[in-house]
């Protein structure tokens, strides 16, 4: 692996005490307690972050409910203007945002930019489509001409948002944008590893014109603050592990509160016989190692035809071996760091276990403490057996396994193995790949792309099947999840039970005749 040269800029010179104070002032807290966050790039302290109490969560919800009552009465035109201002502000402030993403998550700058672009795309998308997605819709009434029905999406109220460390800007702000746009307020717990970048995004929301109390932030342990949010919210949006998602689903169900959960994945990529091998190999590198593999939709399983296996392996491994690792806050590195000691231990254990069970390391396979405390080389394995932990278990790191297959039917069966169903990738002629795509059990399937075609298309819903989650972000589904459809019916001229002068039996006969007539009317 090559190493990108270190830049002179450091976390201590970029994230000043004054800037930390400005951002952490957005956290609702009265405890006086703080915790220290460290940068995965170099292990240096980044910030002293205030810790919130249960009382602070209560205060956050009280303020959010008051703000939501006023905000829900604002016009869609006003909300649209604020969203477009947010779009512009995110792009204008991208240098600081990129620095904070790198400092707190450890990822490369080019992968950090994906988050900035996604937030801007999301803000513009919902601004342009608010009127269409939230306008009241006319529906067919029970009695033609006499009954009219209007369905209006009403905001849920206060949304509880619990966002992850791996995409700390976009999984916070992009999930919150449609909630606010739909007329809700938010109480948000950013991940403890990466609060500053989430706070920077929320600061831009306020600068864009969204009311200050509309987006409340609390900080602390998920078992304390996160649980308190779940116990109080009118809707819950969570991105994280399947195990935690199941617990949240149980807690939400006990309160009859809805939730959307994007959870784990063990995402497959199938290289078809018709694929351009060089393009497939290059695409696989991005699909597997973006954000050092710490991406819910990244690829961890690669299936290649037996007769093209060696050709693909050679092309893929060569590209992986030339990836540049680096901790600098610049554009030179292809990969950054893992986020924590825990993630490093997981990747290390998965590689060691796979090798012990017969796998061969084709590239990478070791930590790089010379670059930073949690760096690990992008790693390719061959011959991974079912007894290996990484065969079916999610690694969530820079590790991918190669497998040959004999027939397309076998490849589809292999791709559908396991309990997850978040994302999949197919490489080959589009017509052939499209026919296969509908047979893959995954919420998103990308053809001649790893994940960006669906992730970047914010008009398309995104989420998981099976153990990979509930609900969808993006698209109309992404905003309507934060609403309750309210049906308003107007009855004219006579009641549904018929004119008072008619006996019930006579009215039933007339209705029967009417139903028979309507049955012969194509549009009724």
Query: How distant, in Å, are the alpha carbons of 2, 74, 332, 370, 455 from that of 7?
Result: 16, 47, 10, 15, 31
Task: Examine the pLDDT at 485 and tell me if it is beyond 60.
Answer: yes
Whether 262 is catalytic: yes
4 pLDDT band, cuts 50/70/90, is: low
Note the pLDDT of residue 8.
44
User: pLDDT: is 514 or 242 the higher one?
Assistant: 242
Instruction: Concatenate the DSSP letters of all residues of 329-386 into one string.
Output: SSS--SB---SSHHHHHHHHHHHHHHHHTT-EEEE--SB-TTT-TT-B--EEEES--T
Q: What is the DSSP letter of 448?
A: S
Verify whether residue 449 is a known catalytic residue. Answer: no
256 dihedral zone (left: phi>0; alpha: psi -120 to 50; beta): left
Q: Which pLDDT score is estimated for 142?
A: 84
pLDDT digits (tens, 9 = 90+) for 140-149: 888 888 899 9
Catalytic residue among 104, 262, 377, 382: 262
- Given a contact cutoff of 8 angstroms between Cβ atoms, the answer to whether 158 and 61 are in contact is yes
pLDDT at 86: 98
Residue range 110-114: mean pLDDT, rounded: 96
CA torsion 470→473→476→482, rounded to 10°? 70
Convert the pLDDT of each residue in 267-311 to its tens digit: 999 999 999 999 999 999 999 999 999 999 999 999 999 999 999
Q: Exactly one of 237, 259, 288, 296 is catalytic; which is it?
A: 296
Q: What would the pLDDT profile of 410-448 be if each residue is shown by its tens digit?
A: 999 999 999 999 999 999 999 999 999 999 999 999 999
Strand order in the sheet with 137-139: 137-139, 147-155, 483-491
Contact 15, 196 (CB under 8 A): yes
Residue 514: the pLDDT is: 85
Which two structure tokens, joined as six digits, stand for 487?
Answer: 């049906």
Instruction: Kindly report the average pLDDT of the chain as a whole number.
Output: 95
Q: Assign residue 396 a region: left if phi > 0, alpha if psi is -120 to 50, beta otherwise?
A: left
């Amino acid at each position: 692996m090559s190493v990108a040269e270190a830049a002179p800029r450091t976390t201590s010179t970029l994230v000043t005490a004054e800037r930390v104070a400005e951002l952490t002032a957005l956290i609702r807290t009265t405890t006086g307690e703080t915790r220290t966050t460290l940068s995965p790039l170099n292990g240096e302290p980044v910030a002293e972050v205030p810790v919130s109490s249960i009382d602070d969560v209560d205060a956050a919800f009280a303020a959010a409910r008051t703000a939501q009552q006023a905000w829900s009465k604002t016009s869609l035109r006003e909300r649209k203007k604020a969203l477009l201002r947010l779009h512009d502000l995110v792009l204008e402030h991208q240098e600081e945002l990129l620095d904070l993403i790198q400092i707190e998550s450890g990822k490369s700058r080019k992968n950090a930019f994906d988050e900035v672009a996604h937030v801007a795309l999301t803000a513009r998308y919902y601004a342009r489509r608010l009127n269409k997605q939230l306008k009241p819709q006319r529906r067919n009434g029970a009695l033609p001409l006499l009954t009219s029905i209007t369905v209006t999406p009403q905001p849920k109220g206060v949304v509880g948002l619990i966002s992850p460390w791996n995409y700390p800007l976009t999984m916070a702000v992009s999930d919150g944008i449609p909630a606010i746009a739909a007329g809700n307020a938010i109480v948000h717990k950013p991940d403890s590893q990466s609060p500053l970048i989430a706070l920077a995004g929320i600061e831009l929301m306020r600068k864009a014109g969204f009311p200050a109390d509309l987006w409340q932030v609390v900080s602390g342990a998920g078992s304390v603050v996160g649980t308190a949010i779940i116990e109080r919210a009118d809707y819950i949006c969570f991105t994280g592990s399947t195990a935690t998602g199941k617990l949240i689903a149980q807690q939400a169900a006990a309160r009859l509160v809805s939730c959307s959960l994007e959870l784990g994945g063990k995402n497959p990529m199938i290289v078809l016989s018709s694929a351009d091998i060089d393009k497939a190999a290059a695409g696989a590198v991005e699909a597997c190692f973006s954000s050092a593999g710490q991406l819910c939709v990244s690829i961890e399983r690669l299936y290649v035809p037996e007769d093209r296996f060696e050709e693909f392996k050679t092309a893929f491994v060569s590209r992986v071996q030339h990836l540049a690792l680096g901790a600098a806050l610049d554009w030179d590195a292809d990969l950054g760091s893992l986020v924590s000691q825990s993630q490093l231990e997981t990747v290390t254990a998965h590689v060691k276990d796979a090798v012990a069970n017969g796998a061969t390391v084709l590239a990478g396979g070791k930590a790089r403490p010379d670059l930073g405390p949690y760096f690990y080389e992008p790693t390719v394995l061959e011959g991974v057996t079912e007894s290996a932990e990484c065969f079916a278990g999610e690694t969530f790191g820079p590790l991918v396994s190669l497998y040959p297959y004999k027939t397309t039917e076998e490849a589809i069966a292999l791709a559908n193995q396991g309990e997850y169903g978040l994302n999949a990738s197919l490489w080959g002629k589009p017509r052939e790949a499209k026919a296969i795509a509908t047979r893959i059990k995954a919420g998103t399937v990308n053809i001649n792309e790893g994940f960006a075609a669906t992730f970047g298309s914010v008009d398309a819903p995104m989420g998981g099947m099976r153990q990979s989650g509930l609900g969808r972000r993006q698209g109309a589904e992404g905003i309507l999840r934060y609403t309750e459809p309210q049906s308003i019916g107007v009855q004219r001229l006579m009641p549904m039970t018929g004119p008072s002068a008619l006996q019930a039996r006579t009215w039933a006969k007339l209705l029967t005749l009417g139903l028979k007539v309507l049955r012969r009317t194509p549009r009724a």
